[in-house]
């Protein structure tokens, strides 16, 4: 059930899928209950409050303030949670192209949240990184 740990194999086997929705980051103060009906892609409790990643549509419909309109790119390679250097390599390649990234690790895949207007640029960088790993 474990994923790949070898960095060269991860890069060579990587492909990427961009999701059609625009996502945003929302924060709710500690003790504030999220509106009912939300289906966050991710939620994480920080010292300052609850961070949520939602579609922009959901955030707007719920009247929530948000930041960082972005697109989600899923890396279609089963990376092990203990894999060393994979996200660092991906984030460095995107940084070299002048864009930030907010990565989220799932059990099977890593997901990258990149600026909405740079999503296609990010896909090109990732394709180049995968080609270089083959």
Instruction: Identify whether 2 is part of a domain.
Output: no
Name the phi and psi angles at 131, rounded to 5: -60, -40
Please report the beta strands in the chain, taking only residues with DSSP state E, as ranges in sequence order: 16-29, 42-45, 49-55, 67-75, 102-105, 110-115
Domain count, the chain: 1
Up-side HSE of residue 44: CA atoms within 13 Å toward CB?
8
Instruction: Identify whether 110 is part of a domain.
Output: yes
At residue 2, does pLDDT exceed 80? no
Looking at the DSSP bridge assignments, the partners of residue 102 are 113
Q: How far apart are CA 40 and CA 23, in angstroms?
A: 10
Mean pLDDT of the chain: 93
Q: pLDDT tens-digit profile of 67-106?
A: 999 999 999 989 888 888 899 999 999 999 999 999 999 9
At residue 34, does pLDDT exceed 70? yes
Instruction: Identify whether 98 is part of a domain.
Output: yes
At residue 134, does pLDDT exceed 70? no
Domain ranges, residue 40: 7-133
pTM of the shown model = 0.91
Instruction: Tell me the CATH number at 100.
Output: 3.30.2130.10
Instruction: Identify whether 1 is part of a domain.
Output: no
């Amino acid at each position: 059930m474990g994923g790949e740990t070898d960095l060269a194999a991860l890069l060579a086997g990587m492909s990427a899928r961009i999701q059609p929705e625009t996502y945003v980051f929302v924060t709710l103060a500690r003790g504030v209950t999220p509106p009912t009906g939300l289906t966050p892609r991710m939620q994480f409790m920080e010292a300052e409050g609850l961070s949520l990643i939602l579609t922009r549509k959901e955030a707007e419909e719920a009247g929530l303030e948000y930041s960082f309109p972005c697109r989600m790119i899923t890396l279609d390679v089963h990376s092990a949670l203990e894999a060393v250097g994979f996200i660092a390599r991906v984030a460095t390649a995107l940084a070299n192209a002048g864009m930030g990234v907010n990565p989220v690790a799932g059990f099977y895949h890593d997901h990258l949240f990149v600026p909405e207007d740079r999503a296609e640029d990010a896909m090109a960088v990732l394709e180049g990184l995968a080609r270089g790993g083959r």
